A = this chain, B = another copy of it.
Amino acid sequence: MAEEKGITPQSEDFSRWYIDTISRADLMDYSPVRGCIVFKPDGYELWERIQDGLDSRFKATGHRNAYFPMLIPESFFQKEKEHVEGFNPELPWVTEAGGEKLEERLAIRPTSETIIGHMYSQWVQSYRDLPVLLNQWANVFRWEKRTMPFLRTSEFLWQEGHTAHADEQEAREETERMLEVYRDFVETEMAVPLWKGQKTPKERFAGAVDTYSIEAMMKDGKALQAGTSHYMGQNFAKAFEIMFLDKDNQRKYVYTTSWGASTRLIGALVMVHGDDKGLALPPRMAPVQVVMIPVGPPKLREKVLEKFNPTFDALKAAGVRVKADFRDETPGWKFNEWEMRGVPLRLELGPRDVDSNQCVLARRDTGEKVTVSLDGIVETITNLLNEIQANMFAKAKAFREANSHYEIDTLDALKAHIEKCDAANETYGWVLAGWCGDDACEAQVKEETKFTSRNIPFEPPMTKHKCLTCGGEAKHTVWFGRAY
């Protein structure tokens, strides 16, 4: 049982609020291994829900799972120049095994394009072998200097899809399809609103032709990249000689894609919905959707159970994830505990409720309490859970909108905005601004404000015409923000 410790208010120190919340809600623990965390059962269960939701969508779009070796020979990384430059600084190396020094160092995978590219070169011979549509659930390592639980850890869990196609158009469609799969999952299930868009060249995946992302705004106004989908063109096909004999009897390189989402989604879930009471989970993600708490004096407990137990059974039979808390603690203590753990709905039932055939429902998202009849309680609760899900998405969207700035069109204006926010202890939020397409202009924004380009949204809320930095003609309208 978690001891009663305070949670730092978000407005005081958001990072501390985050650590307090995930620790008290028992989602994780630190480990003795640098930068690695332990996913405790309540945290891992969120990952299991993410896995279920994504895996079923991957399969519905024709993908199958496979598993490739975690250790990758050093020579494989050398084959794609940008890829090795991007990942080399973060790799852990196995140099000894089975009591012997290895002839060639083996990297622990930071991502699997290289080993999978090699295997695809063996498997793909003819156009009949295409497309190859595989996904892998795996652990990966990136030796990070600064870590933050779930968001950035040396080891994390993820899925990585890797596909190979006969032509560019099909590969580009796949890249967009999987970005849409991520959007659908994260918005529908996690109630986290997103901007889908394209990354700028500087922010591309190492080795990709184009990288697309979904970007979410956390409650401190910072951005979190929640999933990426990459169009690789023929870069990896050429590096690993993935070729096929086409219908026209020509040998051609395939076009590949890759796409990934990771345990950092757990962090997004916490930072988008949580508040000063702790976690707040949308019903579709919550391991426990309804917690039932008997109230009233212990001597009347038996009377309460007459209605309590059938209600529990009916909810369970209807597929609601319900938990009954009979622990020997005060109702008030339990209320706080389950609010802190983010359970969307609390059902209180006492002796007087039994007499009047009703119960009290308390919503985590609004704090509202309503008294409802026990007749039709399953339908009442099912509807309410749907309403909570929709409301949490709407709230997150409203927050994002309130923290999106559309009138900041110069670097000076952005700096003034930052100063103003600092003075008022307000979040910076994001800025929609024009960009001329020049790497230097983008780099200058980062250097002077620590704002980075998030993505170039497919459907920007408005179009910008001048570059934030140089004032020249804007080629793109871009979301800028501080990011995790």
Inter-subunit contact A143/B41 (CB<8 Å): no
Inter-subunit contact B92/A31 (CB<8 Å): no
Inter-subunit contact A98/B106 (CB<8 Å): no
Given the complex, which residues of B lie within 8 Å of A69, measured CB to CB? 31, 33, 36-38, 155
CA distance A398 to B345 in the complex (A): 55
Specify which of B36, B97, B122 is in contact with A93 (CB 8 Å cutoff).
Answer: B97
Inter-subunit contact A71/B119 (CB<8 Å): no
Answer whether residue A108 sits at the interface, using C-beta atoms and an 8 A cutoff. Answer: yes
CB-CB contacts below 8 Å: A11-32 with B: 29, 31-32
Answer whether residue A204 sits at the interface, using C-beta atoms and an 8 A cutoff. Answer: no
Residue of B nearest to A126 (CB): B1
Answer whether residue A68 sits at the interface, using C-beta atoms and an 8 A cutoff. Answer: yes
State the Cβ distance, A78 to closest chain B Cβ, in Å: 14
Q: Mark A29-72, 1 if CB is under 8 A from B, else 0.
A: 10111001111110011011000000000000000111111111
CA distance A33 to B71 in the complex (A): 7
Inter-subunit contact B143/A71 (CB<8 Å): no
Q: Mark A124-161, 1 if CB is under 8 A from B, else 0.
A: 00001000001000110101110000000011010000
CA distance A119 to B30 in the complex (A): 9
Residue of B nearest to A93 (CB): B96
Inter-subunit contact B41/A106 (CB<8 Å): no
Inter-subunit contact B99/A89 (CB<8 Å): yes
State the Cβ distance, A470 to closest chain B Cβ, in Å: 35
Answer whether residue A90 sits at the interface, using C-beta atoms and an 8 A cutoff. Answer: yes
CA distance A156 to B108 in the complex (A): 15
Residue of B nearest to A26 (CB): B123
Given the complex, which residues of B lie within 8 Å of A32, measured CB to CB? 73, 76, 115, 118
Answer whether residue A377 sits at the interface, using C-beta atoms and an 8 A cutoff. Answer: no
Specify which of B40, B89, B145, B155 is in contact with A70 (CB 8 Å cutoff).
Answer: B155
Answer whether residue A95 sits at the interface, using C-beta atoms and an 8 A cutoff. Answer: yes
Given the complex, which residues of B lie within 8 Å of A39, measured CB to CB? 66-68
Inter-subunit contact B89/A108 (CB<8 Å): no
Inter-subunit contact B65/A31 (CB<8 Å): no
When A48-B65, A96-B92 are in contact, do A71 and B155 touch as well, CB less than 8 Å?
A: yes
Answer whether residue A94 sits at the interface, using C-beta atoms and an 8 A cutoff. Answer: yes
Residue of B nearest to A33 (CB): B69
When A32-B118, A33-B73 are in contact, do A40 and B65 touch as well, CB less than 8 Å?
A: no
Inter-subunit contact A96/B97 (CB<8 Å): no
Inter-subunit contact B31/A68 (CB<8 Å): yes
Answer whether residue A91 sits at the interface, using C-beta atoms and an 8 A cutoff. Answer: yes
When A44-B65, A94-B108 are in contact, do A128 and B1 touch as well, CB less than 8 Å?
A: yes
Residue of B nearest to A94 (CB): B92
CA distance A27 to B158 in the complex (A): 23
Given the complex, which residues of B lie within 8 Å of A66, measured CB to CB? 38-41, 44
When A45-B64, A65-B41, A69-B38 are in contact, do A94 and B93 touch as well, CB less than 8 Å?
A: yes
Inter-subunit contact B44/A119 (CB<8 Å): no
Inter-subunit contact A33/B143 (CB<8 Å): no
State the Cβ distance, A440 to closest chain B Cβ, in Å: 28
CA distance A98 to B89 in the complex (A): 5
CA distance A45 to B135 in the complex (A): 12
Specify which of B76, B96, B115, B139 is in contact with A139 (CB 8 Å cutoff).
Answer: B139
Inter-subunit contact B41/A64 (CB<8 Å): yes
Specify which of B38, B91, B139 is in contact with A119 (CB 8 Å cutoff).
Answer: B38
Q: Which of A69, A91, A139 has the most CB of B within 10 A?
A: A69
Inter-subunit contact A97/B92 (CB<8 Å): yes
Residue of B nearest to A63 (CB): B41
State the Cβ distance, A326 to closest chain B Cβ, in Å: 15
Known: A92-B106, A94-B95; 11 extra A-B contacts, CB below 8 A, are A29-B122, A31-B69, A32-B118, A33-B115, A39-B66, A41-B65, A45-B64, A71-B155, A92-B98, A98-B144, A108-B108
The 8 closest A-B pairs by CB, nearest first: A98-B143, A92-B97, A36-B69, A41-B64, A39-B67, A33-B69, A93-B96, A97-B143
> Which residues of A come within 8 Å of B, CB atoms?
1, 29, 31-33, 36-41, 44-45, 47-48, 64-73, 76, 88-99, 105-106, 108, 115, 118-119, 122-123, 128, 134, 138-139, 141, 143-145, 154-155, 157
13 A-B pairs with CB atoms under 8 Å apart are A32-B118, A38-B66, A41-B134, A44-B65, A44-B67, A70-B155, A89-B98, A89-B99, A90-B98, A93-B95, A95-B95, A96-B105, A98-B145
